[in-house]
Amino acid sequence: MKKKWQLRGWLVSVVLFIGMVTVGDAALAYNVSGTIGNSSGKSGQTFVSVQYNGGGDTGLGTCLLSGTGSFTIHGVGPGTYQISAWMDVNGSGTHNANEPTAASGSFTVTNTDVPVGTINLTLPSQTAPPPVASNKFMVIPGDSGALVQWKTETNGQEIADSYNLYWGTAPNPGPGNTPGGGTFTVLGRDDGHAFFGSTNGTAIYVAIEAVNALGTSARTSTGPVTIGPLSGGATVTGRVLSPGIAKSANTPLYIAVVNESANPPAFFLARIANPGDTHGTVVAAFENPMLRNLRVELSRYPEILKALETGQSVIVTDVPGVASPP
């Protein structure tokens, strides 16, 4: 009997210890609640987060799809914080310096839930967008087009609401000066754009300008850049699956091979006019660096068709005129 009581007493001690730990852990997490108002005149969903009072994100937050209203953020531990909120006006999902923001005063969480009251969204002070520096702007030519990349200008958040991109065969492209090219507007969250439809061998110029509510920056231009696939190096083959995507004879497929170890990254672009074609284009071949843009009939290369079909490497061991290894 004595041994049984000792065992029972040990189990009761373990249960009490676990109970105390469980209660203690549960007591470390509290709710912070409040209301988001809006006097900015803008609309969009609002992201609300708990920030450390000395700076830094706790990783705790919520999103108000309507932009305003009450919110509750769960799981906030003891400490001193403030609430930060911003409205995603342009729908980019990233904080733009020109979008409405709000912040609460600091508050301390100790051993209970904390209401922070109403926080009102207002427009920040805006500054004109700076020009895009030319050393942060590059054009990578490809088959029938090019990829344009630039470094977005920020002061902690994205400054530009959008970027205007111009390209054409005349120097210094801009409004009314895009012969043989065109123009495109890119959201401020993006730092690149690909355009196609140019003729291989054509020399083009490209320019970009940043835009926000207070104005437009000076344009930065570069060129000429000759459109066409790059030559040299190894041949890269593969298979692109697109189930459920409607395609037609006029639906092109664009493929990019990126060497991210290069500085800046190296891009190799290819365009397939019709993904269902029975022909392919050899962009570059290792055995003949001078070969470029060679059109081949895929039915004559069963090893390529097999690689495209299986998505696996294919080893050819009986190439005519080539002796097999001993």
The tens place of each residue's pLDDT in the chain, 326 residues long, gives 444 444 444 334 443 334 444 444 444 789 999 999 999 988 999 999 999 988 888 999 999 999 999 999 999 999 999 999 999 887 877 777 778 999 999 999 999 999 999 999 998 776 656 666 555 778 888 777 888 888 776 655 567 778 899 999 999 999 999 998 889 888 776 677 777 778 888 999 999 888 877 778 888 888 898 888 766 666 777 777 666 666 665 666 777 777 767 665 666 766 666 665 556 666 555 555 555 566 666 667 777 666 655 556 666 666 555 444 44
Q: Which of 32, 30, 26 is nearest to 107 (CA)?
A: 32
326 CB-near residues (< 8 Å, 6+ apart): none
The count of C-alpha atoms lying within 13 angstroms of the C-alpha of 24, restricted to the half-sphere facing its C-beta, is 6
How is the chain split into domains, by residue range? 11-121, 134-226, 229-318
- Cα 31 from Cα 62, distance rounded (Å): 12
Q: Which position has the token pair 């920040």?
A: 124
Cis peptide before 224 (omega within 30 of 0): yes
- Cα 18 from Cα 246, distance rounded (Å): 58
- Cα 23 from Cα 18, distance rounded (Å): 9
In the numeric block, which tokens belong to residue 260?
Answer: 């991210």
- The confidence score (pLDDT) of residue 21 equals 42
CATH class label, 134-226: mainly beta
The helix (H) or strand (E) run that includes residue 58 is strand 57-64
**SS3 (DSSP) at 8:** helix
Give the model confidence (pLDDT) of 42-60 as tens digits.
Answer: 899 999 999 998 888 899 9
- The confidence score (pLDDT) of residue 319 equals 55
- Cα 132 from Cα 139, distance rounded (Å): 14
Residue 243 near residue 205, CB atoms below 8 Å: no
Give the model confidence (pLDDT) of 281-302 as tens digits.
Answer: 665 555 555 555 666 666 677 7
- The confidence score (pLDDT) of residue 265 equals 61
Whether 11-121 and 134-226 share one fold: the answer is yes
- Cα 244 from Cα 259, distance rounded (Å): 30
C-alpha gyration radius of the chain:
30
In the numeric block, which tokens belong to residue 290?
Answer: 């001078």
- Cα 301 from Cα 227, distance rounded (Å): 28
CATH entry, 11-121, from 2.40.50.140, 2.60.40.1930, 2.60.40.10, 3.40.50.880: 2.60.40.10
